[in-house]
Amino acid sequence: APQPDIAVQVVYEDAFAVVLEKPPHLAVHPTLNYPGGTLANGYAAWALQQGRSPVFRPVNRIDKDTSGLLVVAKDDATHIGLSQQMAVHSVERAYNTIVYGGFAQDEGFVESNLGRSKTDRKKMAVCPAGEPNTKYAYTGYKVLERLGEFTMLECRLKTGRTHQIRVQFASRKHPLWGDGKYGSHFKGTIALQSARLCFLHPETGEPMEFALEKPDTAPWNV
């Protein structure tokens, strides 16, 4: 249902797609736990005000607690085209995050198989390679800033698994700041931002790049 009280922050818009900046703590889709009050509800109201279809067609996925860039297709053909780019990993995605601990190297990567946790079905976990119902996940990273006992990283995803960055860094003893689900220090806001999206325009094929400023550390309580 359309909910005009949910603000939609538009970064870019044309006849084919909209790039939005999602705040943290806002679910993208309605679920059993969040039947309303989601970005989809706000988008529907915003689109109807413009006399357009309220159908919400996000191309990339963002967790409820993650902030940042989300691209939404305005029609089915655009959604199919952009989703195909996502499937073959030609959409470049970068996330900014703050994790516990220091890194000797300025860049590196984490790769592992991820699947549902056997002890908590709401959580994901690193699993042995080849185990059934698991998927390979790769995250490259580089150090943006060293913050004493914390480090700000830019993470580039080659795969887009559920909770990928959160699980992989927690498994390496570098849990994300504020992540009570996979770390022990919950501060209310997980330091994870969808900071950069690059894809080919669905009509012209021109490269499109959208980037948010590296966040000030203050909102992330470090």
pLDDT of residue 204: 94
Tokens, residue 156: 């580039």
Query: Considering 63, 65, 76, 106, which one is annotated as catalytic?
Result: 63
**b vs e for 82-112, b when ≥16 Cβ sit within 10 Å of the residue's Cβ?**
beebbeeeebebbbbbbbbeebeeeeeebeb
* Location of structure tokens 């736990």: 33
- The answer to whether the beta carbons of residues 124 and 115 sit under 8 Å apart is yes
pLDDT of residue 17: 96
Catalytic residue list contains 216 = no
Written as tens digits, the pLDDT of the chain (222 aa) is 899 999 899 999 999 999 999 998 899 998 887 788 999 999 999 999 999 999 999 998 888 889 999 999 999 999 999 999 988 877 889 999 999 999 999 999 999 999 999 999 889 999 998 899 999 999 999 999 999 999 999 999 888 888 999 999 999 999 999 898 898 766 678 999 999 999 999 999 999 999 998 777 766 766
C-alpha 62/C-alpha 52 separation (Å) is: 24
Q: Whole-model pTM above 0.75?
A: yes
